[in-house]
Amino acid sequence: MRGIGILLAMAGVPAAIAVGLSATAALAQSREPISALKGHNSDAPVDVTADRIEVQDRADRALFTGNVHVTQAELTMDTARLTVAYSSNGGVQIRRLDAAGGVVVRSPSETARGEFGIYDLDRKLITLIGNVQLDREQNRVSGSRLVIDLDSGRAVIDGGPAGVNQSGGRVTGHFTVPQKRGD
């Protein structure tokens, strides 16, 4: 239920209403929406599986294609195509993952989808672009672009230009409301 605050904040719902609708006392006390990805260990090893890999060593990148699955700690990413940019100063250090083709990023409690994705490991940012959806439980926020800061847990969804995505240039949200017990 803690995630309702982040979804409400991303949809532009005023903090007072977001706090009122949230079912958790922690959110009511802090008034700061937090993503489940806050504090994700971006230094953890990255495991990638795919149907094919092409290493372009001179360009310091590797291309993975076909049923690509990425795992880092509790975070997973699935996509059709992934470009891994790395540096090779005394060993391979992954810097950035660029995903294309139905990108799905999952944490234990949130799922985000978009047409393209960028995971900048140096800056600890995940960006999804194109018909973005962020789901937590039965709550959903949609827009054109999602940026998640893994350090702070802050997530921002932009609506984008009208006519470019399914949301018509606006951020949209669908939220469940805690049901009151009849006495």
**Mean pLDDT per segment of 10 residues, for the chain of length 183 residues?**
42 39 33 61 93 94 97 96 91 93 94 97 95 93 94 89 67 88 72
As a CATH number, domain 33-174 is 2.60.450.10
d(CA 25, CA 46): 35
- For residue 73, what pLDDT is reported? 93
How would you classify the pairing of strands 111-120 and 75-87? unpaired
What residues does each domain of the chain span?
33-174
- For residue 169, what pLDDT is reported? 80
- For residue 153, what pLDDT is reported? 86
The residue whose two tokens read 């940019």 is: 85
Alpha carbon distances (Å) from 77 to 18, 67, 71, 114, 141: 29, 11, 7, 11, 19
- For residue 3, what pLDDT is reported? 43
- For residue 181, what pLDDT is reported? 81
